[in-house]
Amino acid sequence: MYTRLNKLFAIKGYRLFVICVLLVGTGISITLPYLALYCMEDLGFSAGAFGALTAVSSLSGVVANSFIGKHSDRGLDRKLMIILATVSSALGYVSYLVFDHFLILLIIVSFFGGIGAAAMPQIYAYAQDSANESNSDDKTFAMSILRSLVSLGFLVGPLFGAIMLGTVGYKGLFLGTSAIFLTIAALVFLFLPKKRAVQKKRPDTGATSLNRRQIWYPMIAITFLFAVNAINGIVTPLFIVNELQGTHTDVGLVVSICAGLEIPIMFALGALGRKISNHLLMISACFIAIIYNIILSVSTDSWQLIAAQLLQAAFVAIVMGNGLSYFTELLPNSPGMSTTLYYNGSIIGRLVGNLGGGLIAQFAGLRDVYWVCLAIALISFIILWKIRPHKDLVG
């Protein structure tokens, strides 16, 4: 394992990628838990207005991601794209302190946040380019390590955010988040060489004719899986307290155990990338989600949910860790577009899950939500099973 890690750091720029993705994860998660509180308590927005702000800014990220991802594979400098995206993110967070009118803030945040959403996909695309140039035979492991560091950032970020909010208030919280993204921009500017996408004579042979089946179908599946995860995140705490008469401590245990298991499982699955195909792992994630939601739908006590977090952690680790590598394998010569497809799927999935989870719970009941999640996971399983490569069947 030590030798494998050393080989990863032989990839040009990999040390900087490690720092950058950890900072991105930390920067986003520092503010995320408190953004709704700030908008509703300090700016006076309604819950509906905040939901609209979140939805529009998320969709603007999808649009900007698609445009930047497409053109970044056609000769645009990825270094410049990363700097532009991280500076835009910094300006987006500062905007919350400058503007208090809903419509103006909606336009400004959607613009800067949309461009800023391209930061992580372009960092991954640059890392994928570097791994290809280094002739690394451990690309899945390299990308899984980077993805696990984002999760680590999401673990420590809320704690830092709580400390900052208690000491310097919302002004310090947003300025601190902006400073993190400006730090990333400075590190990239100073230490990362320019990198333009290498134009291939025959990029992604067959991608045009197989768009629907080999590219868009997996994106539909990954979108569904992210939606399932988002729905679980919203509904499960309510289900534990209101349906199972559990305590807030039980809720904390469920969240903490799952988050604590995600990173080592993600790391382990990345290490197994040479032996198990990413497509097979994605199919396995669907199967795990089906089993997990069956358990939750028939559960009668909160300890059953706590025990089931091993399954949920494995599901999240595969979707968030190996899912990225799966898309880079689909389009090996277009890392910008492949990472963009994955991240657009995650954004849309979370948005649909956040909106749909609450509606389903309100009209169908909390327990029935898990049957809906089971059906969605089953659809994803069928999609991925139908487009599985032949080699996944023979070993």
Q: Tell which residue, 277, 274, 258, has the closest CA to residue 316.
A: 258
The angle formed by the CA atoms of residues 78, 347 and 260, to the nearest 5 degrees, is 95
Mean pLDDT of the chain: 88
- The answer on pLDDT for 318 being more than 90 is yes
- The answer on pLDDT for 201 being more than 50 is no
Q: CA separation (Å) from 368 to 216, 240, 293, 301, 378? A: 29, 14, 10, 16, 16
- The answer on pLDDT for 381 being more than 50 is yes
Is there a shared CATH topology between the 2-191 domain and the 211-386 domain? yes
Contacts of 387 (CB under 8 A, 6+ apart): 213, 214, 217, 218
pLDDT given at position 210: 47
Instruction: Indicate the pLDDT class of residue 292, thresholds 50, 70 and 90.
Output: very high
58-113: per-residue pLDDT in tens?
999 999 998 898 888 877 789 999 999 999 999 999 999 999 999 999 999 999 99
pLDDT given at position 2: 63
Instruction: Indicate the pLDDT class of residue 195, thresholds 50, 70 and 90.
Output: low
Residue 351 CB burial class (10 angstroms; 0-12, 13-18, ≥19): buried
9-20: per-residue pLDDT in tens?
888 889 999 999
Residue reference for tokens 């979370």:
350
Residue 177 CA, chain-centre distance (Å), reads: 18
pLDDT given at position 211: 57
10-62: per-residue pLDDT in tens?
888 899 999 999 999 999 989 988 898 899 889 999 878 888 898 899 999 99
Reading the block at residue 213, the tokens are 């089946």
pLDDT given at position 196: 61
The CATH homologous superfamily for domain 2-191 is: MFS general substrate transporter like domains (1.20.1250.20)
- The answer on pLDDT for 355 being more than 80 is yes
pLDDT given at position 333: 82
Element (H, E) at 335: helix 335-364
Instruction: Indicate the pLDDT class of residue 212, thresholds 50, 70 and 90.
Output: low
- The answer on pLDDT for 230 being more than 80 is yes
Q: Tell which residue, 143, 181, 247, 169, has the closest CA to residue 28.
A: 181
259-282: per-residue pLDDT in tens?
889 889 988 888 777 788 899 999
- The answer on pLDDT for 7 being more than 90 is no
Distance, in Å, from the CA atom of 299 to the CA atom of 284, rounded to the nearest integer, reads 22
Q: Where are the domains of the chain?
A: 2-191, 211-386
Q: Coil, strand or helix: which one is 196? A: strand
Instruction: Note whether 232 and 373 are within 8 A (CB).
Output: yes
- The answer on pLDDT for 334 being more than 50 is yes
Question: Average pLDDT for residues 332-345, to the nearest whole number?
Answer: 89
Question: Average pLDDT for residues 188-205, to the nearest whole number?
Answer: 67
Q: Domain 211-386 adopts which CATH fold?
A: Growth Hormone; Chain: A; (1.20.1250)
384-393: per-residue pLDDT in tens?
999 876 555 4
Q: Tell which residue, 122, 124, 104, has the closest CA to residue 56.
A: 104
